[in-house]
Amino acid sequence: MFLVESKGGAITCMLFSLLFLGTWPAFLTLLERRGRLPQHTYLDYSITNFLVAVFIALTFGEIGKSTFERPNFTHQLTQLKDNWPTVLFAMGGGVFLSLGNLATQYALALVGLSLTEVITASITVVIGTTVNYFLDDKINKAEILFSGVACFLIAVCLGSAVHSSNAADNKAKLKSLQSDQQPRIEATYTSTPTETFTEKGTKDLENGNDTAASAKAGTAHFLVEIENRRAIKVFGKSTLIGLAITFFAGCCFSLFSPAFNLASNDQWHTLKKGVPNLVVYTAFFYFSVSCFVIAIILNIIFLYRPVLGLPRSSFKAYLGDWNGRGWAFMAGILCGFGNGLQFMGGQAAGYAAADAVQALPLVSTFWGILLFGEYRKSSRRTYILLVSMLLMFIAAVAILMASSGHRK
């Protein structure tokens, strides 16, 4: 079994995890804005996310000789009757992650990529990092660790200010449109009696080809064009609904890492004496199993009982929807490797320090600007606040990583 044991190796895992976890939500946003139903996207994402966990367990978890204290993955699977209490912790963490990710896919549409990641990441750090610090027997340097947490809190305040300023900018842009020139907002998908879908304004979600007239990013026409094409219509919906979903996602995210920590280190001494702790790969496998099962069950329910005004779909319609499936598969792959690397780094340097990956708004904001035209043609005030937020997140990442300890 391969284990990351050095501080440098742990930091490398965290950096790659930060990149992957900050990128996969951009793919979900991309497909939703091009009109693909989020239920279809999330089912595809869940499949590859689980397969990555199996791949990591069967490769990294099988490297080297299996020992009593560090059994290989397949050997430890046979010990379920002895280590089931910690298996339940791992599966509980998977449930929290699945619920958080499921809520996030709707929050991304209602609140936006950047702000969703800012709020969820910050709640995760404030709650999750504090819990992990005490679970890890304070192996991280408290004065450094909580300075990083403070930087996250400042970044949250700046992020809220950015959202408020940018919302005011967008409102001003939309008001500039003459009432007789404002395009009509219509649904991207329509249900038919056979529960199939017709698409308006898009041809190929995979390659990004569409028939809609291309408007310049940052303009009022651009904002309305996005609304016409996207799957989840946001104009006229209450911001409070989006924020409530976002805060729920953040609370779920804040609990999955401590649950995984308990699964792999058994700080509450739930295992009988002489029973080895779950190795990180076995814990990750059970974690991913529950995450996958919850995701499949809930999204199949949402196919037939959709929320937020989405059209009703079916499993047959999902199987036939290949538009954008490659991007959804890629999102699952990135998230799977991102979570795996976070846990591998956390096992070596402490899960509190591994929460440095929650600076993923740095990455998602980059994709938001590059892919979705967020903050284009905004006011000077918005740009100043945006740069300040990003600088604060950079400081938070550096400080949390500097607090890394070494698990005995």
Give this prediction's pTM.
Answer: 0.80
**Cβ(36)–Cβ(311) below 8 Å:** no
pLDDT of 192 above 50: no
Residue 201 confidence (pLDDT): 37
Q: Compute the CA torsion angle 303, 304, 309, 311 (nearest 10 deg).
A: 80
Distance CA 313, CA 327 (A): 20
Which pLDDT band, with edges at 50, 70 and 90, does 53 fall under? very high
pLDDT of 376 above 60: yes
Q: What would the pLDDT profile of 259-286 be if each residue is shown by its tens digit?
A: 988 998 888 989 998 888 898 899 999 9
Distance CA 194, CA 165 (A): 45
Q: What would the pLDDT profile of 223-268 be if each residue is shown by its tens digit?
A: 778 778 888 887 767 667 888 898 999 999 999 888 988 998 888 9
* DSSP assignment string, 58-119: HHGGGSS---SSS--HHHHHTTHHHHHHHHHHHHHHHHHHHHHHHHHHHHHHHH-HHHHHHH
Residue 199 confidence (pLDDT): 40
Q: Compute the CA torsion angle 31, 342, 362, 331 (nearest 10 deg).
A: -10
Amino acid (1-letter code) at residue 64: G
Q: What would the pLDDT profile of 321-361 be if each residue is shown by its tens digit?
A: 999 999 999 999 999 999 998 888 877 666 655 666 666 77
pLDDT of 112 above 80: no
Distance CA 250, CA 128 (A): 10
For residues 89-113, average pLDDT = 90
Q: Pairing between strand 197-199 and 189-191?
A: antiparallel
Distance CA 110, CA 245 (A): 9
Across 38-52, 187-201, 225-239, 253-267, the highest mean pLDDT is recorded for: 38-52
Task: Report in angstroms the alpha-carbon separations of 48 from 32, 57, 161, 325, 329.
Answer: 19, 14, 36, 11, 6
- Find residue 191's DSSP bridge partners: 197
Percent of the residues in the chain that have a pLDDT greater than 90, as a whole number: 30
pLDDT of 408 above 60: no
**Cβ(298)–Cβ(38) below 8 Å:** no
Residue 2 confidence (pLDDT): 76
For residues 288-305, average pLDDT = 96
Residue 177 confidence (pLDDT): 64
For residues 153-160, average pLDDT = 79
Average pLDDT value over all residues in the chain: 81
Percent of the residues in the chain that have a pLDDT greater than 70, as a whole number: 83
